[in-house]
Each structure stands twice: as structure tokens, then as C-alpha cells.
Amino acid sequence: MRLYPKTFGAVALAVALAAAGASALEAAAPRGKKTATHRKTAVKAERIPILVNVLGGGYYDISKATMPLHDNGYPDLSALGSSRVIDSVGNPVSSFIYTGTLSFADGRMFNNTGNGFFVTLPDGSGKKKLGKEGSYLGDGLYAVGSYDSGFAIMDKDGNVMVPVAPSRYYEKAGEGLIIFCENEKYGAIDKTGAVVIAPQYDYLSTCSEGYLPAIKEEKAGVIDSKGNVVIPFVYEVNESWGDDDGDPLPMHVHAGLTAACKDGNWGVIDLKGNVVVPFDYSYAGVGSKGTIRATSLEWDKNIYFDSKGRKLREDWQLCYGDDPDADFQVFMTEGIDNIKMGYKSADGRVVIPAAYDMAMEFYGPTALVKTGGAWHLIDRTGKIVKRNVAKFTIGELAG
């Protein structure tokens, strides 16, 4: 599960981490004897859970395992133990303890462990092992199997919807489609397993409004859900796509528009290829309602446009996130030193002041913010509903 925004968000996060002086890559082996200060830090780490991860749908998972700390205060990840699920206000949903990677979608928790791929209800009941390995495909379906023997497509009860195809693996497409890869080429099937888009692309990304971003012969374009080319393959595949767990191909269609990269710069086009916002920006994205957010080449301001390309405003306090039309968007204060984060509305009003060292997007009724060396849960008024949720996020520990 992605913890931080795509592309621009990853850059913003890197700036914030640098400002906070925190990098998981600095977690070196202990040096010398433990000091009294170090022992004090270790006691605090035992009192506050170590790690938190956003599951979505108002759920988080945390690790309460006691972990030895390096001299720089970072935990020894090799000692990470089991975790539990909490709800949006920090209460455990049950005594359910798990190990492995956990995710949430369509009312089910699912996780890969050393013992297999399991699906459960959020409180841990109804646990069912579907297979050795697995991943979520959308619409209540899962790819289950292994890379050695191949994957079948199953529902939450383990019923096989599409038999094992030894030469294929699957990814989520959405809107009734499932992406598959066969002989290093990507195509799509429907939920019955019928091939809808022949495997001829170097990559396909998730479907939006009936369209899929695609890469062919090292160029990016857009096809429709039947495989017809809508936007020709003439745009660049940016080298940064896919970095920091970002989208490998962020040309998703919203309100009949998509961002694209040309000559190293970003702009926005419509489905006929007409330029709506010129290719004059370091990054651009289209919101769910058609609002466009473009970032200057100097990465020092956001410029907002409507769906017709008419300029709405400029904002020197950089916002980031997937959706420029989201009602709560994380923003950062200006400058390099002592950067703080808060939240703005879609029209640029400050709704929660910039008082945090780090902040995550709202993925439900609450969001994670960091201040005083710990992560807390806040609601949409900025009120802290749960203090000291954890000391670290996966994003921090992964660098």
C-alpha cells in the first residue's frame, strides 16, 4: 500500500524528510557503549508503538513489538515482530495479531505471510487461506498461486473464477478488467478470463473512465477498455515514474483529460490530443473533477487551471497528493529550513494550519501527522484523536 503521494509527493516528502533531518538510510550499526540518553530513548520506544502503516478505509496497522534501537535512534528492523489493526481513532478492532504484509479493500483484510496468502474480515474473523502467494485485483477478486506454478483468480471464499495460467501473472486494472502479463507483454482480461486486450504492450496501468495508460516501444499513450488507441504513443516515459512506490505510468484520464510528458516537461491534453495546458512544467496532474495542478520548473510553486486550461491561481505553499480536487490537500510552508505541513481545501484555503513536521493525506476520517518525534491521528478539524500511534512509518524506515 502506498503511503505517500505519487511523483511530486515523493519529491515533497524527500524535502520534508531532509528538513526533519531524518533518513532511514542513516540507521547504521550501534557504535560504542549505550549512554544514559540512549537508554532513555529505548524506554520511550517501548512505550510508543514502533511502526504504522495506512491500510485505507479508516484502518491502520501498527507494530508494538519491542525493537532494539541503534545509537541514532532508529530501530533494528530485523527484530520487527507481529502487528495488529487499529481503527480510525486508534482503537484495536480486535485482538487479531498477524505477521506479514497487510492490506485492505472491499471490506476484507488480506496479507501475505510465510505461511501463505490469507483473507479475513477486519476483526480477524472468517480467516481463510487462499494459497501460497496472492494480490488484490479489484472487484473482490484475488490473484492466488505462485510465480513458480502460476496464478489463478479467486473470490474471497476461494472459489476459482479463472483457472491457473502458468505463463501469466496479474495486476489490478479496475472497472471490470484485470491486467495480465504474458511473455513480458501486457494485456487485459475480463472477470471471466476472456482476453479483451491482446498482450502487446510493454506496460498497462489502471483503468479510469474507461481508459488505460499504456507504454509501447518506449513511448506512452492511452487506449480504451477494448484496446483501441485513443492517444497515440508519442509521449515520453519519464525516468522518475515508478520511483518511491509511485505510479509507473501516471497518465490516467479524469474529466476527459490526462497529463503527459514531452521533451522532459509536463502538460495536459484532451483525448483528441489537443493541448489544454502547455508542456512548460516539471509535473502536472488532473483532479477527479477536472482541476489541473502544475508545478513550476523551479519546483517553487503550484499553478492551478480549470478543465479548459484557464488559470485559476498560483500558490507558493506547495501542495501535493493524487487529487487536486480533494477536499483536504497536504501543503508545505515556504523555504528550506523548518518546513511545516498542514492542509488546504481544493480552493486553496487553509483548513488545518501548518503545525506538523510531517503529514499524510486523509485516507478516511483521520490522517497521520508527526510532531514531537511521534505520529498522531487527527480528524478533519485538526483535533488529535489518538496520540503516540507510532514512532515511524514504513516510508521513513524505507528511506
Joined together, the cell numbers standing for residue 104 give 485492505
Surface-to-core class of residue 279, CB atoms within 10 Å of its CB (0-12 exposed, 13-18 middle, 19+ buried):
buried
Q: What is the pLDDT of residue 80?
A: 61
Predicted TM-score (pTM) above 0.85: no
Average pLDDT (287-313) is 96
Which range scores top for mean pLDDT: 9-13, 46-50, 308-312? 308-312
Q: Are strands 392-393 and 51-56 parallel, antiparallel or unpaired?
A: parallel
Please state the rounded mean pLDDT for residues 245-266. Answer: 84
3-state helix, strand, coil in the chain (%, to 5): 10, 50, 45
Cell of 72: 541514532
Q: What are the tens digits of pLDDT across the range 310-337?
A: 999 999 999 988 899 999 999 999 776 7
Q: What pairing do the DSSP bridges indicate for beta strands 92-98 and 101-105? A: unpaired
- Dump the DSSP string for 205-237: ---BTTEEEEEETTEEEEEETTS-EEEEEEE--
CA distance linking residue 136 with residue 153, whole number of Å? 10
What does the pLDDT read at residue 94?
81
The mean pLDDT of 221-230, rounded to a whole number, is: 96
* The three three-digit cell numbers of residue 303, written as one number: 499553478
What confidence tens digit (pLDDT) does each residue in 147-171 have? 888 999 999 999 999 999 888 999 9
Q: What is the DSSP string of 103-148?
A: EEETTEEEEEETTEEEEE-TTS-S-EEEESEEEEEETTEEEEEETT
Written as one string, the DSSP assignment of 49-111 is -SEEEEEETTEEEEE----PBPTTS-B-GGG---EEEE-TTS-EEEEEEE-SEEEEETTEEEE
Residue 268 one-letter amino acid: V
Residue 159 pairs in a beta bridge with none
> Nine-digit cell at 74?
532508529
